[in-house]
Amino acid sequence: MESLKGKIILITGASSGIGRATAFAFAAAGARLLLCARRLELLQQMEAPLREAGAADVSSFLLDVRDRDAVNFALANLPDEWASIEILVNNAGLSRGLAKLYQDDPTNWDEMIDTNVKGLLAVTRAVVPGMVARNAGHIINLGSTASHLTYANGAVYCATKAAERVLSEGLKIDLMGTAVRVTSIDPGMVETEFSQVRFRGDVERAAKVYENITPLTPQDIADAILWTASRPAHVNIHSILLTSIDQANSMVFHRH
């Protein structure tokens, strides 16, 4: 196992769910945490608990990954002590709506594509050149079982996650000859704010998604991310596809 103590970890979308759990997992490993999200107040509330959990240091900043200019400015102007990002966790992502493609609101498409694809690209483009120059680094992208099997009424979300998977594969090819690693973490159903965001705050509808089923937890995904990041430097975990015992793929579930 490679030590993560003192390493600089950038996590996007770190204010809740998988991002938050990942921050605490890296904190327990003694990492230095660089956290960004659209809800700065939640990040700031996490800072003291993260230090108590073992983080060597924590720095938070407001960022919407859909804004490429803001991404470029924020990451180009990091203080010197935070500039050498060693692990990037591209976690920021969302789904909007659940409807037939030809009936859907195109603004849902824009938000998903701008966040899940273009946002991932913007952050990656801003961070990876530094990793290449240092000949060290690891990009961990959050994918989904939706990238492996398309489900009804979710075509655009599935397409954005398929794009993430292909971009991860392509980036690894582009980085051949360097020591920079790339991993796609592809979870199935995880109980987070995901469904509330998808249904724009409809808590009752969101709760039905997880009814009579045992989903994964954010901590499960954080464990996978931490394990991936702590492999010896010569080992690259290309992808991890994981679900709970009650899920076979993005369409087959056991409810009990």
Q: Which two tokens stand for residue 214?
A: 């045992």
* pLDDT for residue 48: 98
Confidence of residue 203 (pLDDT cuts 50, 70, 90): confident
SS3 per-residue string spanning the chain: CCCCCCCEEEEECCCCHHHHHHHHHHHHCCCEEEEEECCHHHHHHHHHHHHHCCCCEEEEEECCCCCHHHHHHHHHCCCHHHCCCCEEEECCCCCCCCCCHHHCCHHHHHHHHHHHHHHHHHHHHHHHHHHHHHCCEEEEEECCHHHCCCCCCCHHHHHHHHHHHHHHHHHHHHCCCCCEEEEEEEECCECCCHHHHHCCCCHHHHHHHCCCCCCECHHHHHHHHHHHHCCCCCCCCCEEEECCCCECCCCCECCC
CA distance linking residue 136 with residue 132, whole number of Å? 7
Which CATH architecture group holds 8-242? Answer: 3-Layer(aba) Sandwich (3.40)
CB atoms within 10 A of CB 102: 6
* pLDDT for residue 73: 98
Question: Which among 102, 151, 157, 210 is annotated as catalytic?
Answer: 157
Q: Which two tokens stand for residue 246?
A: 């009650």
* pLDDT for residue 197: 83
- List pLDDT tens digits, range 148-202: 999 999 999 999 999 999 999 999 999 999 999 999 999 999 998 887 888 888 8
Q: Which two tokens stand for residue 205?
A: 């509808």
Strand order in the sheet with 180-187: 57-62, 32-37, 8-12, 87-90, 137-142, 180-187, 239-242
Q: If 0-12 CB within 10 Å is exposed, 13-18 middle and 19+ buried, where does residue 94 land?
A: middle
Confidence of residue 100 (pLDDT cuts 50, 70, 90): very high
What is the distance of C-alpha 178 from the center of its chain?
Answer: 23
* pLDDT for residue 166: 98
User: Would you list the domain boundaries of the chain?
Assistant: 8-242
| Catalytic residue status for 151 | no
Distances (CA, A) of 2 to 78, 116, 218: 26, 29, 23
Confidence of residue 95 (pLDDT cuts 50, 70, 90): very high
CA distance linking residue 157 with residue 164, whole number of Å? 11
pLDDT at 35 over 90: yes
pTM to 2 decimals? 0.97
* pLDDT for residue 200: 85
- List pLDDT tens digits, range 215-231: 999 999 999 999 999 99
